[in-house]
Amino acid sequence: MEDDLVFLKSFVSGDVIKKLKSLNNQYLIKFLTESIKLCKPESVYISLGTEEDKEYVRKKALELKEEIPLKTKGHTIHFDHPLDQARAREDTFILSDTKIPYVNTKPRDEGLKEAISLLDGSMKGREMFIGFYSLGPRGSNFQILAVQVTDSPYVIHSENILYRNAFEDFSGNKDFLKFIHSKGNLDIKKRRIIIDIQENTVYSVNTTYAGNSVGLKKLALRLTVVKAIKEGWLSEHMAIIEFEGDKGVHYFTASFPSGSGKTSTAMIGRLISDDLAFIKEINGEPRAVNPEIGVFGIIQGINEKDDPIIWEVLHKPGEVIFSNVLMTEDGDVYWEGSNLNKPERGYNYEGVWTKDNGKPASHPNARFTVPLTSFKNLDENFDNPNGVLIEGIIFGVRDYTTLVPLVEAFSWSHGIVTIGASMESARTSAVIGKTDELEFNPMAILDFMPVSLSVYLSNYLDFGKKLRKVPKVFGFNYFLKDGDRFLNSKEDKRVWVKWAVKRVEDSVDAIHTPIGLIPYFEDLQSLFEKILNKRYTKDNYEKQFTIKLRSYLEKTERILKIYSQFPDIPYEVINELKIQKTRLIDY
Ligand code: SAT
Ligand code: MN
């Protein structure tokens, strides 16, 4: 450790060395030393998370033109390479010497060699930035520590918005997740995101898109899923929301593939998390926290009428990083679906844009990065170290043809297997590739799955068995169509949510069907009337809630076929699917 400290002294001030030393964390010193030796930056900036550090990082992002200031105070815009606008599935690898179905793996030695060779000297002539964070409330037993090393101040700036700075918490030889990122030379052919679950380290290079570069977001998710399985809890791609009922408030988690209604569902209630959840069993109760303290949200389609809360966040002074939207000549921003007049010209991720060039003004996966504290519907428990009690879990998909808008599972295992683990959803622009193809995406987490689904599901099913009070499980689908026409409008989700809350409060009955419990027409009719002041007809109901037995059966068979490929799949998974199949056939 002494040798490492001597080496670090040539990069950082005596004062910072003293602080590092006082942490007494030899693993941390070793990791920092090795990262510097590998990437060979010209200088190193260690951010302890002070206001001064945050300001320095913001200033550097502007200086390096990774961000451009906009006319509203605190707003900046960031552009990613035209071919680097979303999660890069094909370039993201889990290091594993054995192949895992549905997981993009690479043999460990080969992957490590590749990571090292791409990062070797990648920061020559550049400044390295280092940040120290906590996933989950500081001091809570949910907390997981993480260090980010990068040559991009935009990455640290984003992390300062999205995560809790926690330098002091590294004291003692504590374990932490490690993220090494370099923009490299943005040769997209050499973009790699290499995830070493054995050493809790992720290497990412030749990319800047936050989903691939901001380590603590989806790169950390792969590592925390593994940790959660080892320790018997759940690390999920889920929002956490407080909904108001007639008998009090209730917390739900909600899991939807990106761009399929998760954020808008979160905006119906009071917000704790829009994207990620750690759920632990504490005294027999499922309790959840948000690993993050900010939102990296999809901006397309956000407009004043449908999304008043987000609209306000994006228009008032305060910290916002826009990415891949259109920048107008007067330093404002514009995005598709904002319902504003399209400007004549502007600048976007491809360069100069004009209204008549026939291309969208903003990328469909354009985003905003903001702190949770900007939202006026922020829940008071958002940083509660004890988490909040979860009473309902929603699994939502984008399915145009088959799935009913709303269903409740018969039980934990029925819900986990036939709703969560059976999710199929139309692909959206959050992923590089053709949109609208129906994709198998259990728990909306398949892109981030680091282990075999059999291991993951077995942990999920066991988790339910530890609980005294098991959350109700719901399936949502906002996207059912009749021909080309959507059968529901955006606001209808308020009714679905209300019905789910009433089920949790045990104040409404449901119809038993082969796929689960669905609402009675009269109950929905009265909720539509009360909440939306809207007429709901029997015809609407029949179009939306008639169970398409044949398509459901086909779907169940498809899923059964998928899980039958796993030799070690838990018996309950196959069993729930087989029973569901029988129910559908016998109906
Ligand atoms: O692009 S990310 O994977 O970081 C965010 C998301 O779409 O969930
Ligand atoms: Mn997400």
d(CA 140, CA 146): 15
User: Above pLDDT 70, what percent of the chain?
Assistant: 99
Q: Please check the confidence at residue 455 and state whether its pLDDT lies above 70.
A: yes
**pLDDT-based confidence at residue 173 (cuts at 50, 70, 90):** confident
Q: Looking at the domain assignment, is residue 455 inside a domain?
A: yes
The pLDDT tens digits of the residues spanning 513-524 come to 999 999 999 999
CA of 403 to the centre of ligand 2 (A): 22
Measuring from atom 2 of ligand 1, which residue has the nearest CA?
A: 211
Q: What does the H/E/C string look like for 517-550? A: EECCHHHHHHHHHHHHCCCCCHHHHHHHHCCCHH
Q: Give the model confidence (pLDDT) of 488-541 as tens digits.
A: 999 999 999 999 999 999 999 999 999 999 999 999 999 999 999 999 999 999
217 touches ligand 1 (CB under 6 Å):
yes
Q: Are the C-beta atoms of 335 and 345 separated by less than 8 Å? A: no
| Pocket flag, ligand 1, residue 262 (CB < 6 Å) | no
**Does the residue 15 lie in any domain?**
yes
Atom of ligand 1 nearest to the CA of 448: 3
- Does residue 560 surpass a pLDDT of 80? yes
Rounded to an integer, the average pLDDT of 119-126 is 98
What CATH number corresponds to the domain at position 121? 3.40.449.10
Q: Is the CB of 430 under 6 A from ligand 1?
A: yes
Asked if residue 514 has its Cβ within 6 Å of ligand 1, the reply is: no
**Same domain, yes or no: 195 and 59:** yes
Residues 158 and 245 in one domain: no
Whether residue 213 is contained in a domain is answered as yes
Instruction: For 407-444, write each residue's pLDDT tens digit.
Output: 999 999 999 999 999 999 998 776 667 777 889 999 99
Atom of ligand 1 at shortest range from CA of 296: 5
Q: How remote is the CA of residue 222 from the centroid of ligand 1, in Å? A: 13
User: What is the average per-residue pLDDT within 153-168?
Assistant: 98
For residue 75, being part of any structural domain is answered with no
Ligand nearest to the CA of 255: 2
Q: Which residue from 80, 85, 87, 255 has its CB within 8 A of the most atoms of ligand 1, so it is best to mutate?
A: 87
Identify which of 155, 193, 218 to mutate to test ligand 1's pocket (most ligand atoms within 8 A of the CB).
218
Which residues contribute to the annotated binding site for substrate? 87, 209-211, 258, 365-367
pLDDT the model gives residue 256: 96
What's the ipTM? 0.96
Would 222 be classed as within a structural domain? yes
Decide: 211 in ligand 1 pocket, CB within 6 A. yes
If residue 38 lies in a helix (H) or strand (E), which one and from where to where?
Answer: helix 26-39
435: helix, strand or coil = coil
Residue 317 Cα to ligand 1 midpoint, Å, equals: 25
Q: Is 212 found in the same domain as 270?
A: no
Which one of 216, 231, 246 terminates a domain? 231
Inter-CA distances, 436 with 428, 431, 445, Å:
6, 11, 18
- 81 occurs within a structural domain: no
Identify any residues that bridge with 472 across adjacent strands, giving them in sequence order.
392
* pLDDT number for residue 587: 87
- Lowest-pLDDT range of 260-269, 317-326, 441-450, 511-520: 260-269
User: CA 493 to CA 470: how far, in whole Å?
Assistant: 24
Domain count, the chain: 3
Say yes or no: 362 and 395 in one domain. Answer: no
For residue 78, pLDDT beyond 90 = yes
Per-residue pLDDT tens over the stretch 359-391: 999 999 999 999 999 999 999 999 999 999 999
Same domain, 195 and 145: yes
Residues 249 and 320 in one domain: no
Catalytic residue among 152, 235, 255, 260: 260
Of 200, 231, 262, which residue is a domain's last? Answer: 231
**Which amino acid does the sequence have at 305?**
K
Which of 304, 339, 374 is the C-terminal boundary of a domain?
374
Residue having the nearest C-alpha atom to atom 1 of ligand 1: 211
Residue 433 shares a structural domain with residue 579: yes
Q: Whose CA is nearest to atom 5 of ligand 1?
A: 211
Question: Which parts are annotated binding residues for Mn(2+)?
Answer: 218, 237, 275
The answer on 257 and 118 residing in a single domain is no
**Residue 164 belongs to domain spanning:** 2-66+87-231
Q: CA 537, CA 518: separation in Å to the nearest integer?
A: 16
**Residue 367's CATH number:** 2.170.8.10
Predicted local distance difference test score (pLDDT) of residue 427: 83
Exposure string for 563-582, b = 16+ CB within 10 A, e = fewer: beebeebbebbeebbebbbe
At 91-108, the pLDDT tens digits run 999 999 999 999 999 999
Prediction pTM value: 0.97
Asked whether residue 388 falls in the same domain as residue 341, the answer is: no
The string of pLDDT tens digits covering residues 139-150 is 999 999 999 999
- On average, the pLDDT of the chain sits at 97
The residue-averaged pLDDT of 203-232 equals 98
Q: Same structural domain for residues 334 and 249?
A: no
Mutate to test the pocket of ligand 1, among 258, 367, 368 (most ligand atoms within 8 A of CB): 258
Spell 341-363 as b/e; 16+ CB within 10 A means b: eebeebebbeeebeeeeeeebbb
> Does the C-beta of 87 come closer than 6 Å to ligand 1?
yes
Residues 194-213, buried b or exposed e (16+ Cβ, 10 A)? bbbbeebbbbbbbbbbbbbb
Q: Is 204 a catalytic residue?
A: no
pLDDT at 347: 98
Q: What is the CATH number of the domain that holds 542?
A: 3.90.228.20
Name the closest-CA residue to atom 4, ligand 1. Answer: 211
Instruction: Give every CB contact of residue 579 below 8 A, 6+ residues apart in sequence.
Output: none
Asked whether residue 87 carries a pLDDT value surpassing 80, the answer given is yes
| SS3 at position 279 | strand
User: Is 307 found in the same domain as 261?
Assistant: no
Q: Nearest ligand to the C-alpha of residue 162?
A: 1
Report which bound ligand comes closest to the CA of 273.
Answer: 2
Q: Cβ(427) to ligand 1 under 6 A?
A: no
Query: Phi and psi of 321, rounded to 5°?
Result: -110, 115
Q: In this structure, are 283 and 364 located in the same domain?
A: no
pLDDT on residue 437? 80
Whole-number pLDDT of residue 169: 97
CB of 149 closer than 8 Å to CB of 28: no
46 assigned to some structural domain: yes
| pLDDT at residue 113, rounded to an integer | 98
Instruction: Give pLDDT, residue 571.
Output: 97
Query: Is there a domain that residue 74 lies in?
Result: no
Half-sphere exposure of 214 (CA within 13 A, CB side): 24
Average pLDDT over residues 264-271: 95
